[in-house]
Structure 1
């Protein structure tokens, strides 16, 4: 049955934290894989899952930095992975497949935002390459390790409202615009979850996309302070605007997505503030183009050809 893109009145809201949504849940015996799990909301997600009893694997482009950030958190393992490098993704997957640990929760939380124009691989635009294609290849390569009943959370953003997929110039060969590139990659994150859920549901794996909310984290490292001041994101003292979440609150929706009993048997929808979001044409919610099943299938086929991997072929 197709999940409806409308509120389920979860009882949580924008102020809920990852600890709040895990209250009363015992994750002992469960394993999670969290990309970006050593910084920002990813770190808070790792911390909350581990505190609830889960074992957590954190892939990291800089393993030594990750190990330092995660020091003292029991049950966490770090392994090397660079999402911008498909050879690194393959090597990581081969190591994990050899180990054979199965994962009940996977959260694709790593990403880059509004970076200077950068090309990787065969000339791919970096934000699309890391935020979407790297995760696409990773999930497809390790899909055999996802346990029966596993859930995947693809971390998108309200920023997806800035651009549909630019089918005629996906990699900005006609001129780069960093925010449009970011928006496109976040739309891709939603479409990926839509089609993954369609393909994987009969294998017992469900997928969700989500907007974690506005949070000031290292994700903003490419933005000049003056730009954030002009946007009203912070004041002169560096204090974030009132509508920004804490990192603990920002980690809540992705944690809720993979663990909440309220989502048993559901999938393929976009979440925000620990609830299923409404379809909107502006403001908070999900754009119709980001959950369009035909676009999702088209992007899947493109991504499978681009990365050379498809677990469902």
Structure 2
């Protein structure tokens, strides 16, 4: 079982390591990565590090012009338009990439939304579940023919998964909406996606980046961020929060570390495999059992395949 393997492996890195630190000595020349949302926050830091290591990077972006501006000084980046909340947009992008035919060696599903007001997309799907999970589910499954023989997929999650497993009886929050529980469910879904993808033969990991202030917090009022202890009254971020370069490191480590050869379906934190969570302190982290349960992962996969028409 996955939970039995959830223990540190002695990576030599930690919470303070950066994406460039974990790529030291790794040559990605000739490799192609795809990083959703790779034009701000953690995604941008990760893309810069991958390019510095020699990779070519495809950056799907809901705002392609904004992405091109953010990445104007980064070579070997191919910005493509993608709205993860729109399956037709997912189809268009994947068709373009399939037509190009270039193999993908690394895929990092980094884009996401957090604690937004109740929003419905597509056929009435709750936006967190649709954008953070179903859009990535459909994209990765459509791109499976492009995955290199030893490709890795990394699904970016959050300790927010502590707040909710999968709400099997009300996935779409039809019976009352809670923005934090909606976000939490989507982060559990991100983790379960990696568990089942790995079980199906594609090496996959989940990465929790840690606490970082990025544009992801755009829906959280300043007063609430102060009340949560994320920032002080003068706007200084709390102790224990990471820089974007440190926050990007765990996903980059999971995507590239040779220490992970032969492993998969595991949840990573602070540039190592995470330990099982023994309490409810999200700053300490670890992984809750419902985020790595193989039966739940298989069940969610079937539901997601029915909803998106992908993954069979």
Which residue of the partner structure matches residue 77 of structure 1?
78
Q: Give 1:208's match in structure 2, choosing from 195, 205, 208.
A: 205
Q: Who is 2:251 aligned against?
A: 254
Distance in 2, matches of 1:159 and 1:286, equals 10
Aligned residue in 2 for 1:300: 301
Q: How far apart, in 1, do the equivalents of 2:88 and 2:60 lie?
A: 14
**Distance between the aligned counterparts of 2:78 and 2:151, measured in 1?**
19
Task: Give, in angstroms, the shift of residue 241 of structure 1.
Answer: 0.2
SS in 1 for 2:229: coil
2:7 aligned with 1:10, yes or no?
Answer: no
* 1:138-179 per-position Cα deviation (integer Å, ceiling 9, x unaligned): 000011111010001000001100000000011110100000
TM-score by length of 1: 0.97
Q: 2:205 is paired with a residue of what secondary structure? A: strand
| Structure 2 CA distance for aligned equivalents of residues 238 and 105 of structure 1 | 36
Q: Which residue of 1 aligns with 2:110?
A: 109
| Greater Cα offset, 110-119 or 205-214 | 205-214
Q: Distance in 1 between matches of 2:79 and 2:104?
A: 15
Determine the structure 2 residue equivalent to 1:275: 272
For the residues of structure 2 that align with 1:239 and 1:265, how far apart are their CA atoms?
Answer: 42
Structure 1 match to 2:224: 227
Distance 1:88 1:78 in 2: 14
**1:281 CA drift (Å):** 4.1
Alignment deviations for residues 181-223 of structure 1 (CA, whole Å, 9 cap, x no partner)? 00000000000000000002xxxx3000111000000000000
Question: Mind listing any 5+ residue stretches in structure 1 that lack a counterpart?
Answer: none
The answer for the alignment partner of 1:153 in structure 2 is: 154
Query: Which residues of 2 match residues 19-168 of structure 1 at below 5 A?
Result: 19-168=20-169
- Distance between the aligned counterparts of 1:268 and 1:26, measured in 2? 24
Q: Distance in 2 between matches of 1:278 and 1:56?
A: 31
Paired residue secondary structure (2:143): helix
Q: Deviations over 1:263-288 (max 9, x none)?
A: 11110000000000111242310001
Aligned pairs for 1:238-253 (under 5 A) are 238-253=235-250
* Cα separation, 1, equivalents of 2:192 and 2:73: 36
Which segments of 5 or more consecutive residues in structure 2 lack a partner in the other structure?
A: none
Whole-Å Cα distance in 2 between the matches of residues 281 and 219 of structure 1?
Answer: 27
Q: CA deviation at 1:289?
A: 1.0
Residues 4-59 of structure 1: per-residue CA shift (max 9 Å, x gap): 11110111000000000001111101000000100100000000000110000000
Aligned partners of 2:93, 2:43: CA distance in 1, in Å? Answer: 19
Runs of 4+ in 1 over 2 A off after TM superposition: none
SS at match of 1:207: strand
Q: 2: CA distance between counterparts of 1:308 and 1:292?
A: 23
- Shift in Å, 1:122: 1.0
User: Which residue of structure 2 aligns with residue 180 of structure 1?
Assistant: 181
Which residue number corresponds to residue 289 of structure 1?
290
Q: Distance in 1 between matches of 2:139 and 2:242?
A: 29
Which 10-residue stretch deviates more, 52-61 or 232-241? 232-241
Determine the C-alpha separation between the residues in 2 that align with 1:305 and 1:74. Answer: 39
